[in-house]
Structure 1
Amino acid sequence: MYAERVLSGMRPTGRLHLGHYHGVLKNWVKLQEVHPCLFFVADWHALTTNYDTPQVIEDSVWDMVVDWLAAGVDPAQATLFIQSRVPEHAELHLLLSMMCPLGWLERVPTYKDQQEKLAGKDLSTYGFLGYPLLQSADILIYRADQVPVGEDQVPHVELTREIARRFNHLYGREPGFEDKAREAVRKLGSKRARLYAELRTRFQQEGDGEALEQAKALLEETQNLTLGDRERLYGYLEGGGKMILAEPEALLTEAPRMPGLDGQKMSKSYANTIYLREGDESVTRKIRTMQTDPARARRADPGDPEKCPVWQFHVIYSDDSTRAWVQEGCRSASIGCVECKQPVIDGVLKEQAVLRERAMPYVEDPGLVRNILADGCERARKLAQETMRDVREAMGLSYG
């Protein structure tokens, strides 16, 4: 059975915190169990907003990957690599920039949003405008099928789909495509070739979407096709040319909202974080000094857990009975805020202990991390080179 390829990256702009762990890394660990996954250090992306402080990026790369490994990301199951060590990303970005309309980049919602949020930085740069296209190149170079994202990133995946569609329309007409496609159909074997032809006719003549999906499933299950023939048959199916770049799907991730110490979203810019692998004393001090429901000015005052940042931690770290104890005790003032915080402290420290233990071999021997990334970069680069061969040939740049 065909397993869909998943790609995701993270920018190295400082230490990772519990928001990254619950929002992204736990999901990566689940995905690596069922899909071929590529997880990359997006160091070029970090330069789009931190171009004036590159030292932060350099210092963060290795620590960030140790955090990934501490969270359970497994280099035996997933490919871990650094974006800038695979220069084909930059080549594909450059070539896509030749045919990407300027308006497509200017309308990406995060373009103006980030400029407003980071008003202290000069983001009127070519790199910042083009970073969604670099993201598209990151995805398309690996022909990734699924990209795990939150709601705010869905427009980036949609842009990538439009870029792939435009590229295939402009450059997917290889010489003798029809003949090559028909030859590829014959390679399916008589029974599958007949079914493929029937499904193709139903889709092209009647617009039968179900027939299209069945035909795609048929191709996914066929083992003996070369990558080139597979892409030709996808293109032939939909009435186009060879599908050189695959259109990815957004894989919407359900993640608990990890609050910061002040109840806002956990973020370095709000100075409200608990870092992965932070020391026990520091974590305990931070949680003990967390703000609580303003209505509980005195120990005897009843409160409302829904108005207290500590409650949001209980939602993630406490079991049902502890949450019931908090709800009843807070509203009746039978427990104090110090008591209420203790199960949260215990839960976070327990989690941190596991993360620190997993990280220990890599902290003690940094060479292990470098070796993991060197192997991952080599594997990723082989995939990227395959795509670039097809892209150069389609754009008339192979000069073979």
Structure 2
Amino acid sequence: MTSHIILTGDRTTGPLHLGHFVGSLQNRLAFQDKHTQFLMLADAQALTDTDHDVVHRNVLEVALDYLAVGLDPAKNTIFIQSQVPELSELTYYFMNLVTVARLERNPTVKEEIRQKNFQRDIPAGFLAYPVSQAADITAFKATAVPVGADQAPMIEQTNEIVRRFNTQAGKDILLETRAIIPQTGRLPGPDGKAKMSKSQGNALHLSASPDEITQFVKSMYTDSKHLKINDPGQVSGNAVFTFLDAFEPDISFVDDLKAKYRKGGLADSVIKQHLEVRLQELIEPIRNRRLELAKDPAHVMQILKAGTARARTVAATTLAEVKSALELDYFS
């Protein structure tokens, strides 16, 4: 297609939500018409801290979300991580290129260990998942990976592994990649503090009903000191304005609302009403497409099967190059 091979994906720990839409799905929709894009359902990675029955169930849920937002299987290779065994074999070889100490220093890993309260009871697969990510990225010769700012250290570690492998091989076989970080930061939950996430229980799913959207917006934090309409209001840290910045395309309209709110004379109910209209307009067609797709789960799984077959072909080529460089191709 054009210049970049893009690899992106989601851990199959639950349906996708508005935070995913802003953080990655919007980019993926743009990329599918410009680049060769691989979309991975990271079920094997999800097993590091999620029950297998949940992971299995959510493969279909995430696939439905992908298709419902408009990701076209004719333009993207959508595949299931665990069904591409070449990735596991690459991970095994890459494990020799990184130390435990380096993995423990990875800022993303350190923060997630803290959040999950693993302390020293860290599953080995969880500690080593930067190596698994390196295998996922390099298997498809991805030159760009859309990630949140907190995931940038993972890309850095991937490139360290690439450089070490190429040095060992004596030639450039694997490609370094770069992080594509969205301009819009992570969305907060309705309280304006914790980021929106399934684990925090503060997410608005892309399949949310009209009533769920209404209740979500009503519960959103604005400014605790904005007690009367005429009181000057605070825009910074106001969750409603954070969402309006993300979802209202008319920037001048949002700027005008902010100016009126700061000056005083604009009710919280008014800005929430504007936001609810935007979210209802955004989610309704996604929800409807998702409901229609869910009527034929076998068709969705067939899309994943075909994408996984294509992904295996590409990953197998890279694996063969890696094994040849390591002189492990005895019967070639």
Q: What is the TM-score when the length of structure 1 is the normalising length?
A: 0.77
Q: For structure 2, which runs of at least 5 residues remain unmatched after alignment?
A: none
User: Distance between the aligned counterparts of 1:342 and 1:14, measured in 2?
Assistant: 28
Give deviations 1:160-194, integer Å, cap 9, x for gaps: 12212222222x2xxxxxxxxxxxxxxxxxxxxxx
Q: Does 1:255 align with 2:184?
A: yes
Instruction: Verify the 8 A CA contact 1:256 1:316 in the aligned structure 2.
Output: no
Deviations 1:336-388, CA, capped at 9 Å, x for gaps: 22222111111000001121233243112112210110010000000111112
CA RMSD of superposed structures (Å): 2.1
The code of the aligned residue for 2:242 comes to Q
Alpha-carbon offset, residue 324 of structure 1: 4.6
SS in structure 1 opposite 2:3? coil
Identify the residue that residue 330 of structure 2 maps to in structure 1.
399
Distance 2:172 2:97 in 1: 17
Q: Counterparts of 1:194-233 in structure 2 under 5 Å?
A: none
How many residue pairs get matched? 329
Q: 1:98 to 1:71 in 2, by over 3 A?
A: same
Tell me by how many angstroms 1:299 deviates. 4.5
Alignment of 1:1-400 (within 5 A): 3-50=3-50, 53-119=51-117, 123-170=121-168, 172=169, 241-264=170-193, 265-299=195-229, 301-318=231-248, 319-320=250-251, 322-331=253-262, 333-400=264-331
Residues 144 and 294 of structure 1: CA distance in aligned 2, closer, same or farther (over 3 Å): same
Secondary structure (helix, strand or coil) at the match of 1:68 reads helix
- CA distance in 1 between counterparts of 2:178 and 2:302 reads 31
User: Which amino acid counterpart does residue 106 of structure 1 have in structure 2?
Assistant: E
Structure 1 residues 342 and 141 mapped into 2: Cα distance closer, same or farther (>3 Å)? Answer: same
Partner Cα distance (1:167, 1:84) in 2: 24
- 1:100: Cα distance to partner? 2.9
Cα pair distance change 1:152/1:256, threshold 3 Å: closer
Q: 1:93 to 1:307 in 2, by over 3 A?
A: closer
How far has the Cα of 1:333 moved from its partner?
4.5
Larger Rg belongs to: 1
3-state SS of paired residue (2:7): strand
Distance verdict in 2 for CA 1:293–1:387, change over 3 Å: same
Maintained 8 Å contact 1:48/1:128: yes
Structure 1, unpaired ranges of 5+: 173-240
Instruction: Give the letter aligned to residue 180 of structure 2.
Output: L
Instruction: State the partner residue of 1:199.
Output: none
User: In the aligned structure 2, how far is the partner of 1:384 from the partner of 1:135?
Assistant: 13
Normalized per residue, the structure richer in helix is 1
| Worse-superposed segment, 12-21 or 53-62 | 53-62
Q: In structure 2, what is the Cα distance between the partners aligned to 1:129 and 1:63?
A: 26
Go from structure 1 to structure 2 and tell me whether the alpha carbon gap of 1:76 and 1:105 turns closer, same or farther (over 3 Å shift). Answer: same
